Structure 1
Amino acid sequence: MENSIYNSMIAANQLLNKQNIIANNLANISTTGFKETFNYILQNNSVNNWYNTYNKIEKEYYNLSPGSLNYTARNLDLFVKNDGWLVVKDPNGQEAYTKNGHIKINSKRKLTIQENEVIGNNCNITIPDNMNLKILSNGVIAAIEKKNNEVFEKEIGQLKLVHLSMQNLIQKQNGLFYLNKYHKLFNQYNNIIAHNHNVRIQSGALENSNVNAAKNMIEMISNARQFEAQMRMISTCDKSYEHANQLININN
């Protein structure tokens, strides 16, 4: 009976973790470039008893499919194609990767995504005042200036673009992706990936979140019912303990 209560407790805890992931998916349904997260349970082969719930371990994985495109016609809105990623510097100064291409210019004339500075390809990007920008498909940033009815373009830098499969990445609570430290690339590049000249971007469009709202709502309801079932199991076992104790006291 003790095993039943313990197993129900662990199962309920796993369901709560799953509910947190689903809630985070739904909360980010309108977040640009957000990738839907799931979790699944693996059997821990290091434990001899294969039938206990507490022998299982949880893993996260991501929905790799692209979200729908939102055509904004804004020059600083970018869609990164296929397995390409934009590179930003997080608050700790570490390189991180994102599909969110909604770029802004801060007070220091730096390009930012969600207040994280965008990293250039072997360059520090500073945007001149009163300049229109154009970002080419290879990430080159050109400042456009009109003089005497003529248009002049000047290259001021290039975005750093990297090619990484989702299997090589993990997502942290800040919403950014990082290279998985257990992957061979981590040691090879010291967690700094080189610019990839084959990655292409599209200006004037943003990738929407790929969260399936209906599917996540159904899973949330299903998890809630399973959680209630585990709670009833714990309550039933608890009542059985009480009855057993009463019988023991009577016999004594």
Structure 2
Amino acid sequence: MDRMLYIAMSGAKEVMLSQANNSNNLANANTDGFKQDFNVFRAQHVQGPGLASRTYSMDERPATDFSAGAIKVTGRELDVVTKEDGFLAIQAPNGDEAFVRSASLQVLENGNLVDVKGNPVLNETGIQINLPPTKSITIGDDGTISIVPADSPSNQLVVLDRLKLVKPNIQDLEKGLDGFIRLKEGGAPVVQENVTVVSGAVESSNVNTATALVNMIELSRKYEMQVKMMSTTKTHSQKSDSLLSLK
């Protein structure tokens, strides 16, 4: 009976992990630029000497859905979204280069260009972009950043820098536990590409709320099934004990 109990307990634990991932997807359904994670269950045989007589279920996060979300027009000049499977390079908090499809850019008091979470935005050479005092900022469809300096006439537009735009192989990308998309270890290095940028818009999350809600119901039923198996194990154990206690 203990074997059946451990299998049911393991199954319930893995379902809870999958529920947590699905809840995270659902909670970020309205987070601009969020990419949902996939979860799958697979059979895991007991490892060790002897026959593989027991099989446990294991939940895994095998991949991330990098498909594009819906484009949401904001009209804000510093809101940008990439097209043609392109990505915009930013610097993650740990110093690594990370990639996003969309960003709401902001200029700090020191002139540094960052996204809405404060992560530095990189130029085509991989260096953080810094802007002088400006009257206005315009981002072209090729990622060029043009400004009107604060001490210049309003019609004097100056091309200052260019966003780092890349088009990596999706198979070479992975989303870390911190939520940042990076190249996998050993992935092909990325270089500046001709990626179209649309300003005045952001990309919505690619989470399908209807699918996520259906998954939530399905996972709840799986969890109830595992709990029922544990309850059945207890019942069988009690009956076995009663039989052994007979004289």
Counterpart CA distance in 1 for 2:5 and 2:101 is 43
What is the distance in 2 between the residues matched to 1:124 and 1:217? 40
- Deviation, 1:77, is 0.5
Q: Which amino acid letter does the alignment assign opposite residue 74 of structure 1?
A: R
Partner of 1:101: 103
- State whether residues 43 and 57 of structure 1, in contact with CA within 8 Å, keep that contact through their aligned partners in structure 2: no
Contact kept, 8 Å, 1:146 with 1:152, in 2: the verdict is: no
Count of residue pairs the alignment pairs up: 242
Matched residue SS, 1:199: coil
- Per the TM alignment, residue 49 of structure 1 is displaced from its structure 2 partner at its CA by 3.6
| Separation in 2, partners of 1:77, 1:102 | 4
* Letter in structure 1 aligned against 2:184: N
Contact 1:12 1:231 in 2 (8 A): yes
**2:192 corresponds to which residue?**
195
Residue-by-residue CA offset, 1:44-99 (whole Å, 9 max, x unaligned): 58967486125x56233223331111111111101111321111111111111112
Q: CA deviation at 1:144?
A: 2.5
Alpha-carbon spacing, 1:95–1:146, altered in 2? closer, same or farther (3 Å): closer
CA change 1:228–1:67 in 2 (3 A) is same
Distance 2:176 2:151 in 1: 47
| 1:140-159 per-position Cα deviation (integer Å, ceiling 9, x unaligned) | 10102598976111121111
Gaps in structure 1 of 5+ consecutive residues: none
Measure the CA separation in 2 of the matches of 1:97 and 1:143: 24
State the alpha-carbon separation in 2 of the partners of residues 124 and 176 from structure 1: 17
1:232–1:148 distance in 2 versus 1, CA, 3 Å: closer
Deviation, 1:42, is 3.8
- Determine the structure 2 residue equivalent to 1:77: 79
Q: Give the deviation of 1:232 after TM superposition.
A: 1.0
Q: Which amino acid aligns with 2:140?
A: L
CA contact (8 A) 1:83 1:165 kept: no
Measured at CA, do residues 148 and 41 of structure 1 come closer, stay the same or move farther in structure 2, by a change above 3 Å?
closer
Higher share in helix: 1
* Kept after mapping to 1: 8 A contact 2:45/2:56: no
Q: Match for 2:132 among 128, 132, 136? A: 128
- The Cα RMSD (Å) is 2.4
* In structure 2, distance between residues paired with 1:100 and 1:229: 41
Q: Secondary structure at the match of 1:116?
A: coil
SS in 1 for 2:39: strand
Map Cα deviations across residues 216-236 of structure 1 (whole Å, 9 max, x no partner).
011101111210111011111
Query: Structure 2: where are the runs of 5+ without partners?
Result: none
1:175 to 162, 173, 179: 179
With structure 1 as the length reference, what TM-score do the two structures score? 0.86
Match of residue 232, structure 1, among 204, 228, 232: 228
CA distance in structure 2 between the aligned counterparts of 1:169 and 1:233, rounded to whole angstroms = 39
Is 1:214 aligned to residue 216 of structure 2? no
Instruction: Indicate the percent of aligned positions where both proteins have the same amino acid.
Output: 28
Q: Is the contact between residue 170 and residue 178 of structure 1 (CA under 8 Å) also seen in structure 2?
A: yes
Between the aligned partners of 1:130 and 1:24, the Cα distance in structure 2 is 39
Q: Is the 8 Å Cα contact of residues 89 and 98 (structure 2) preserved in structure 1? A: yes
